[in-house]
Amino acid sequence: MISPAKSALVVGAGIGGLTAAAALRRAGIDVVLCERGPELRAAGFGLSVQSNAMNALRTLDLGIDEELLRVGGQARSFTFRRPDGSDLRRVDVAAIDAELGAPAVAVSRKSLHDVLLAACGEDLRVELGADAVGFTETADAVQVEFADGRSLSADVLVGADGINSAIRAQLHGSQPPRPGKFVCWLALVPFAHPAIEPGASIHYWGRGMRFGIHDIGHGNVYWWATMTTTAEQAADWRHGKDDLLRRFASWAPEITDIITATPESDILALPAQDRPPLTAWGRGRVTLLGDAAHPMLPSLGQGANSAIEDAVVLAHALATHDAAETALRVYEQRRIPRTTMLVDGSRKLGRLEQTRNRAVIAIRDSFIAKGNEAKLQASLAEPMTWPGLGDPTPVAALPRPLSTLERWHWTVDQVAPLHIVSRVRVTGDLDADAVRAGLAALVRRHPMLHAVVRSDEGRDPRFVPVAMRPIPLREVTSGDWVAEADTELRTRFDAEAPLLRATLITAGPGVHDLVLTSTYTIADAVTVLSFARQVLELAAGAGDWVAEVPAPPAPEALFPKPFHGWRGKRKAIARLAADGVRDLRVKPVRLGAGADVAPTQRFTKLTRRVVDGAEYQALLAACDERAVPVASLVAAALARAAGSDAGAPEAHFPVGVSVLFREQLDRSLTPAHTGAYQAMIALPTPAGQPLWPTAIAFAADFARRIEQRQHLANLGGIGFMLPTTPAHPDKVVGLLDARGPGNLCLTSLDTRDFPARIGDWEISGAEFVSGMSISGLMMLTVGLGTGELSLNLGYIDGLFSPERADALIDTVVEVLRSAVPATEIASAR
């Protein structure tokens, strides 16, 4: 039976179980939390909630990350020390935090437990003394039996009952855990010492022994120790505090002091254990989470953190799939590769940490002390990187470097604004608060809207996640949206601001224009119009659960396989070159610039026209009758207008047409996915030949070149044009001015499927405008709306004068109107 999960039983109220309860309730799922103990209490002493878990918790928008920073201590330094207390290496974690987009916080388990329990809500149903012994499934539910005879049922069962999970045992059989062959001591104590600075995380590495100290804030310190021993001794450690003091007597004084300051009853001794990774966790309506699914050794410090990740991904999968069983398998597919890496990595690192081999220790300590700083930080950051909610594809996770195409858009935008703008008219009772609510939900939905681009003085730009922050909303009480879009095309984004901003314009009583502005680094015309639709839909359903749309990998990573590597691109490039030679035979003419404008001063200005009413309907009918896309007719009209502007009515002009290619990728993306999936094909187009034959020939040639994927082949050359940094664009600008496809270009989008009503609002006028920056001279954006054809010409002020721009677009409109006889227009009325 296919049905979404509306209820869940979570067995186990540890860190993973509590996070699952909070996340599932956030997703609108009824939860019963089952705990075998007589009360809800935290087990253990302290831990570090790393950047990956903090970023995962942020997606819930419950304020958990902020509350943890209040009750715990933010990690500020990570220090490797020798047993005598001398430093092997000190790492300031600020750079790592900045790269990963969230701080790490050391916190007591009790404080973390309390914060998560509060996030679950006061009305969370909790069953105490509920020791699960087994489960049974039916077609539409799963029932859990408890040792005291109770039973409960729900749509799904989540086994979060630890390393000795009864749910796991029924699914996979009962086997003892795999020993790590070292014992761990854990404790938490009020303590201060000059050797422990605020926010310090200190690891002392010895021979078969280690000691860790973590400042968790508020005058408290969490400490732990390990010692290599036999599996049997580790599982049944019978020695006390005096023995521990004796073993660490020759180590740094602060270690002896902190052990001495800790009551013996507060020191917990545990064996280090894990289990071999599973290739599947659950079946049917049952799954596992945290230590029940993937117990790991403590070496990477990711046990609780990966359980938090599990819980968030699980809630997202259940909220976004119609079939509960499908959702659970998707969750497992997304989590198993990551957790397998952590289990294996923890065991491998544990062997290195706990080794007694003196030669290996010397190499280990030398690497820590003298190894490459970038490599060391990368090794520390890898497990702390939040992989996101999507498929386990490393290139999709943030942070990640910008791809060549993304870097091109970012570089151009750093020189002069390269923005994409959408406009939607809303009729009805819309106020700024509703828009803010929709924008806030949009931020929660899209990782790229809580990410920024950072670089090393223009080199190696990368997307870095940051804390969610409001999208700026500018309110304009009266005015023309065209003038506001003109301003948006010229106004740069702040370096640390979201890569989207909004303007709400009151055009009249009950009439508003919502204008959204983004950069081509993360958005094309499809994306920015989708943003507008989502904002209004989310505003109409304010307060509803907003499931994340995972950030897809870079566009190039999704190119069809023939475009992976030079060998695959060779045929397309050869066809591209052949067409290029043929194109040059007609000696195409480019529009000349009216003035010399410095690259950093190339700001886009907008002029707009529409064709509507009977003229528009007749134009659509004429294009349908001749099987000519409207964009091809506009391209022919644009060439005619260029001939008039240049005084060369018989010349050919290269008209560059944008190809929106997200549907041509290996993995087809919906309009809701962020990213700029746009390339250009330039065709020499005659200005003086009859309009319809020109449009028909243009359409055929354009379709042939798209079928050959020439637009993707064109993108292969972008990497050769990229300047070293945005500070040195002159060579690229010279090349683009002389030969670039942006001299005379257009982008077309059919917006007739944009909803006419969202909530209580009537929607119309969905269209978009494109900036140019240093990419070229002008871009004509063509919107095929329900009632009008919008023609928005963005041009570089100075390179092209307002008078020329107005004359050019007026000629385009005049040519389009002349394409349809008056009799056909009359019949369309």
Q: Mind listing the pLDDT tens digit for each residue in 663-696? A: 889 887 899 999 999 999 999 999 999 999 999 9
Tens of pLDDT along 243-265?
999 999 999 999 999 999 999 99
Say if residue 569's pLDDT is above 70.
no
Strand partners, 608: 792
Higher pLDDT, 245 or 829: 245
**Cα distance between residue 496 and residue 818, in whole Å:** 49
**Cα distance between residue 77 and residue 38, in whole Å:** 39
Say if residue 828's pLDDT is above 80.
no
560, amino acid identity? P
Residue 567 has a pLDDT of 66
Cβ neighbours, 10 Å, residue 701: 17
Residue among 284, 277, 387, 306 at smallest CA distance from 20? 306
Is residue 17 very low, low, confident or very high in pLDDT (cuts 50, 70, 90)? Answer: very high
DSSP state of 30: E
Cis geometry, peptide bond prior to residue 562 (ω within 30 degrees of 0)? no
Is residue 392 very low, low, confident or very high in pLDDT (cuts 50, 70, 90)? Answer: low
Cis geometry, peptide bond prior to residue 103 (ω within 30 degrees of 0)? no
Residue 197 has a pLDDT of 94
Say if residue 163's pLDDT is above 80.
yes
| Contact present, 236 and 198 (Cβ < 8 Å) | no
| Contact present, 273 and 261 (Cβ < 8 Å) | no
> For 647-676, what is the mean pLDDT?
92
571, amino acid identity? K
Tens of pLDDT along 165-200?
999 999 999 999 999 999 999 999 999 999 999 999
Is residue 1 very low, low, confident or very high in pLDDT (cuts 50, 70, 90)? Answer: very low
- For residues 562-592, one letter each, b for 16 or more C-beta atoms within 10 angstroms of the residue's C-beta and e for the rest, the string is ebeeeeebeebeebbeebeeebeeeebbbbe
Class level of CATH domain 402-542+553-829: alpha beta
Mean pLDDT of the chain: 93
> For 482-500, what is the mean pLDDT?
95
Residue 224: phi, psi to the nearest 5?
A: -145, 160
Residue 2 has a pLDDT of 61
Q: What percent of the chain has pLDDT over 90?
A: 84
Residue linked to tokens 């039996």? 145
411, amino acid identity? T
Question: What 3-state DSSP class applies to 252?
Answer: coil
Q: How far is CA 715 from the centre of its chain?
A: 23
Say if residue 702's pLDDT is above 90.
yes
DSSP state of 709: T
Q: How far is CA 550 from the centre of its chain?
A: 6
Residue among 65, 48, 62, 54 at smallest CA distance from 101? 54
> For 590-610, what is the mean pLDDT?
96
Enumerate the domain spans of the chain: 7-384, 402-542+553-829
Say if residue 552's pLDDT is above 90.
no
Q: What percent of the chain has pLDDT over 70?
A: 97
Question: What 3-state DSSP class applies to 651?
Answer: coil
DSSP state of 110: H
Is residue 441 very low, low, confident or very high in pLDDT (cuts 50, 70, 90)? Answer: very high
Residue among 412, 379, 269, 392 at smallest CA distance from 334? 392
Query: Is CATH 3.60.15.10 what the domain over 7-384 is classified as, yes or no?
Result: no
Establish whether domains 7-384 and 402-542+553-829 are of one fold: no
pTM value surpassing 0.75: yes
Residue 690 has a pLDDT of 95
Tens of pLDDT along 409-439?
999 999 999 999 999 999 999 999 999 999 9
Residue linked to tokens 């087990």? 43
Residue 829 has a pLDDT of 66
> For 198-224, what is the mean pLDDT?
96
> For 761-780, what is the mean pLDDT?
96
Tens of pLDDT along 36-93?
999 888 777 899 999 999 999 999 989 999 999 999 999 999 999 999 999 999 998 8
First-last CA distance in the chain: 52
Residue 582 has a pLDDT of 83
Residue 358 has a pLDDT of 96
Higher pLDDT, 227 or 569: 227
Is residue 820 very low, low, confident or very high in pLDDT (cuts 50, 70, 90)? Answer: confident
**Cα distance between residue 696 and residue 708, in whole Å:** 19
Task: Say which range, 451-455, 474-478, 663-667, 805-809, has the weakest mean pLDDT.
Answer: 663-667
- Residue positions counted in the chain: 829
Residue 55: phi, psi to the nearest 5?
A: -65, -35
- Residues 6 or more apart in contact with residue 550 via CB below 8 angstroms: 388, 389, 390, 391, 396, 447
